[in-house]
């Protein structure tokens, strides 16, 4: 009987048994593993051979390998839908790695950033296995004629060298290996440290508050999230430079499926008057003047007895407030004509006793606007 079922594309990914996976591992890789089970022919494994570059205790490595295998099943990988294996139990991984070693250039292997980083961190153990690590990874992938590899953004270099090695081998001996493609989730592909949000979340971090383990209980997770580094601004929105907030928004988005816009709306807490929490509703007629804060995108808002800071573009503010009797008196200053008590020379005397300067080159235009204002209100 002819089998008309279309052959599924192959997916492969491995994880090292170096400790309990973090939330970053789960959102960046393991969650995708589970979601891909129905649509692909999946091979998922515990990469115990990769772990021996740091010379672990054999008994500890065996225990961690077993625990990691069990954890993969607990996280939802169905062994009836997926091939779940231990790397060292399949000798072909190491065998193919040696063959590919002979088709990998020294220069391209030495340019791998992971080798450089780990060599600096462990200068007393810069071994050949660490140097050849990407080739073993290439063997893992090419052995199964893999179509897609779920990876984080920071791992693209390893997939690129895999494709280069396969392409070189195919050029010499014919179409032997498939050239794999990356599978990177739309969000959550790189979850950062909760304490240093410019660094990747890592289970080897010496600060336990920096990462969330998949085995952490609810209270522990809550404490770590609450102690996460953010910034001094009491607002939730995505912006360059707000690394801590951006990281937490990325985590929340991955866990809930919500967009940045939905998250910003959810955490836009309003007070009883309908004003955003942390903000103040001001009446234009109570504002004396605006003053641009140099080297920033902020202005100082001056009332009779208090000042506030406001994020905005000064030029746009001038344009928007022109119909409401606000006029530029000097560079970076926008004054409310309704609060001028008198003008003497190039000095403006405000009704709260504040004195402001009139720029000489703006004097004629400013006085003309004052006269128009007086005529309208006479």
Phi/psi for 175 (5° steps) reads: -75, 85
CA 104/CA 263 separation, integer angstroms: 46
Three-class secondary structure of residue 269 per DSSP: coil
CA 85/CA 275 separation, integer angstroms: 56
Measured CA distances, 74 to 13, 69, 318 (Å): 17, 9, 60
CA 305/CA 299 separation, integer angstroms: 17
Contact 16, 114 (CB under 8 A): no
Pairing of strands 181-183, 148-150: parallel
Within its chain, how far is the Cα of 25 from the centroid? Answer: 14
DSSP letters along 96-108, please? HHHHHHTTS-HHH
- From the list 31, 190, 203, 224, the catalytic residue is 203
281-301: b (≥16 Cβ within 10 Å) or e: eeeeeebbbbbbeeeeebbeb
- From the list 118, 190, 224, 242, the catalytic residue is 118
Strand partners, 343: 348
Contact 54, 125 (CB under 8 A): yes
Contact 135, 101 (CB under 8 A): yes
- From the list 34, 200, 224, 242, the catalytic residue is 200
CA 338/CA 351 separation, integer angstroms: 9
118 is catalytic: yes
CA 340/CA 351 separation, integer angstroms: 6
200 is catalytic: yes
Contact 104, 158 (CB under 8 A): no
CA 279/CA 235 separation, integer angstroms: 10
The catalytic residue positions are 118, 200, 203
């Amino acid at each position: 009987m002819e089998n008309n079922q279309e052959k599924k594309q192959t997916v492969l990914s491995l994880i090292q048994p170096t400790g309990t996976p973090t939330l970053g591992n789960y959102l960046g890789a393991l969650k995708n593993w589970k979601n891909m089970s129905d649509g692909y022919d999946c091979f998922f494994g515990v990469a115990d051979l990769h772990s021996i570059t740091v010379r672990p205790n054999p008994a500890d490595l065996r225990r961690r390998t077993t625990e990691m295998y069990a954890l993969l099943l607990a996280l939802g990988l169905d062994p009836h839908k997926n091939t779940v294996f231990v790397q060292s139990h399949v000798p072909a991984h190491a065998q193919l790695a040696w063959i590919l070693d002979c088709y990998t250039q020294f220069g391209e292997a030495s340019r791998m950033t992971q080798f450089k980083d780990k060599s600096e961190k462990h200068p007393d153990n810069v071994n050949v296995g660490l140097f050849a690590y990407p080739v073993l990874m290439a063997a893992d992938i090419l052995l199964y004629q893999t179509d897609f590899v779920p990876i984080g953004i920071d791992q693209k270099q390893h997939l690129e060298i895999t494709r280069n090695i396969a392409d070189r081998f195919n050029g010499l001996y014919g179409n032997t290996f498939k050239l794999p493609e990356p599978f990177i989730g739309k969000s959550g592909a790189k979850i950062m440290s909760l304490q240093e949000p410019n660094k990747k979340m890592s289970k080897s971090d010496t600060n336990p508050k920096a990462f969330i383990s998949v085995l952490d209980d609810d209270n522990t997770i809550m404490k770590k999230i609450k102690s996460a580094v953010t910034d001094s601004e009491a607002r939730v929105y995505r912006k360059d430079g707000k690394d801590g907030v951006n990281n937490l928004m990325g985590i929340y988005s991955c866990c809930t499926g919500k967009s940045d816009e939905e998250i910003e709306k959810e955490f836009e807490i309003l007070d009883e008057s309908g004003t955003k929490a942390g903000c103040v509703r001001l009446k234009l007629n109570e504002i004396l003047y605006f003053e641009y804060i140099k080297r920033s995108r902020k202005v100082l808002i001056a009332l009779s007895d208090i000042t506030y800071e406001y994020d905005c573009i000064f030029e746009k503010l001038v344009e928007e407030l022109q119909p409401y009797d606000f006029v530029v008196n000097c560079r970076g200053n926008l004054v409310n004509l309704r609060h001028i008590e008198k003008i003497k020379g190039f000095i403006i005397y405000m009704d709260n006793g504040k004195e402001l300067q009139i720029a000489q080159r703006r004097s004629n235009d400013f006085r003309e606007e004052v006269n128009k204002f007086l005529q309208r209100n006479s």
